[in-house]
Amino acid sequence: MHALVERLYPLCRSITGDGVRATLDIVGEYIPLRVHEVPTGTQVLDWTVPQEWNIRDAYVADAAGDRVVDFRASSLHVLGYSLPVSRTMPLSELRAHLHTLPEQPSLVPYRTSYYKPDWGFCLAQETLDALPDGEYEVRIDSTLADGHLTYAEHVIPGQVPDEVIVSCHVCHPSLANDNLAGVAVATYLARALARTTPYYTYRFIFAPGTIGAITWLARNAERIDRVKHGLVLACAGDSGDLTYKRSRRGDAEIDRVLRHVLTASGRPHTVNEFTPYGYDERQYCSPGFDLGVGSLSRTPYAGYPEYHTSADDPDFVSPEAMADTLAVCREAFAVLDRNRTYTNLSPYGEPQLGRRGLYDALGGRSDTKQAQLAMLWVLSLSDGGHSLLDVAERSGLPFDAVAGAADALHGAGLIKA
């Protein structure tokens, strides 16, 4: 996953353009993708697909011709969606188009101007402070023209057509944690699920933030009722503890599953309530759709000093952190896939488990007592109104023990789904 982040890092991504396509081409080497191109001007809910932006080169050069700000050194150096410029101007005039972080003087900020025509450069405050007055050559070799918005999907068929969506944004340039760690974790999560036979159908969405998720929703509105659960992945590779942000519903099954998995694992973590600010969970959870979609990250949105700066580089994310995020996703989806509601077929008194060989089958196991207790809890709460997750939460037993007990009881004909 870390190697994938390093491959993707140099590319100049935005909400449209060849940088997104190049990113999806690389991800497509790892998992098969269906790529969608949506033309400029297409109405998508209350939005319109914008013109496509592409950039080839950009710089600010001093009187000696030396590039003091250079797009080739980092794609962060150009204001996203900058209009083309080719001029010479004094530093006093240029300053209005220069963006810095005075409180973090050695870092380059990430800035965009998607929906307001503008141009500009981003640079370290200490670089700006060192520039002498004088004339500077300013060039941005970009195009803003009718084209397409690009997004991609990867689908893993399940036993049922009901879907779990996993969404990550692919619109940021050289930012490793936000957004490439999420892209890498999603990619390897898809590879892991492809080696199984999942209960649900899993749909992975790689799309530009906000406008991409809105476009996907607009183009899938007629089948949105298939989406039963969802997870947005972002900021998935920093050293912070895991953070789960609930869906707008607050009690969706995915919310309960993530809370249970994180708590049962003993990992330090935080569960936050929903707010309509952050990543694309706010689009999937908008009241017209009201999908059960939460968001998993490590340090959350804007919560670390490196956020949206040049310090969010591949060294900022670690293989260990991404592996941990991936493991939690796999654990959560394993619970989601096995969570069922059962009815006890022998509800009058406790059925004789020994006669059916259920106790004998446990002989010699180190967790015999736990497994027996799990069977009794499943029988007690299999009334058609409690899921296996309910059983695990109420009993305090591990979900795997509860699900294993349910499998055994189902095999013995004592419960039915």
Q: Which residues are annotated as a binding site?
A: 172, 178, 308
H or E element, residue 271: strand 269-272
**Phi, psi for 284 (deg, rounded to 5):** -65, -30
Q: What tokens does 105 get? A: 């003087």
Q: 181 near 237, Cβ under 8 Å?
A: yes
Residue 295, classified by CB atoms within 10 Å of its CB into exposed (0-12), middle (13-18) or buried (19+), is buried
The Cα 314–Cα 50 span in angstroms is 30
Binding residues for Zn(2+): 172, 178, 308
Question: Distances in Å between the alpha carbon of 240 and those of 104, 174, 234, 248, 291?
Answer: 21, 20, 13, 24, 27
**Sign of the C-alpha dihedral, residues 160, 161, 162, 164?**
positive
Element holding 163 (H helix, E strand): strand 163-169
Instruction: Give the up-direction half-sphere exposure of residue 7: CA atoms within 13 A in the CB hemisphere.
Output: 15
Distances (CA, A) of 399 to 120, 203, 345: 53, 25, 22
